[in-house]
Structure 1
Amino acid sequence: MIRLRLYTTLGCHLCEQLEAVLATLCAERYRLERVEISEDEGLVARYGMRIPVLVDEAGQELDRGMAPDRLAAWLAARGWLDETTWQQLQQQLSGETSPGVTKRAAKGATLRGGRRYLG
């Protein structure tokens, strides 16, 4: 089991985003230790502007890991990336669909280049 540490703070939506993407893309079982930085001035000074920061057992850090491409590269470098899920996520992020799936926009919206435009 992989042991990871996440430097975070209460109510950090970017940290929640990283955790969701990590749960999706990590092919290995892992244990995530959350470290609240607001309780330690040294941690605030080191990580305050960089959270979420994900750290592996070797001490290698990934800041701004809530971006799926950054997290995927970090996981891939360690052999922990679920390649199939990453490919599917990339298709979703780029607006591509699987064969036979029709793209539909919400009523009154149009899809251009995988983005939805209202009005």
Structure 2
Amino acid sequence: MSEVMDYKSRMSDPASRKFETFSYLPAMTAAEIKTQVEYLVSKGWNPAIEHVEPEYLMDSYWYMWKLPMFGETDVTKVLAEAEACHKANPNNHVRLIGYNNFNQSQGAAMVIFRGKTV
């Protein structure tokens, strides 16, 4: 069995905190974010944007940026909303969600812009 790496994420160290799957990887590039949006749209999921202050990252409540983009298939519009949310809230984490209508759940959720840690 291979060694399992311990990610030293601690509440006492805000810079070490991890959140959701992609947070263990380097921050996504614009091209990688676009690929994720294309995937959500190709699955027929409804994109939505949320944001939160880094100090409240571990809380279950994130602010919704406008309403989910029901039926939106234009990747550039989704990216524009994500950029607008990031520009309006530059210190916040910004999350992209893909709502799956069939399962009535989130098909995907990932932080696409990271805010400043305390």
| TM-score, structure 2 normalization | 0.25
More relative contact order, 1 or 2 (CA 8 Å, 6+ apart):
2
Larger radius of gyration: 1
| TM-score, structure 1 normalization | 0.25
**Larger relative helix fraction:** 1
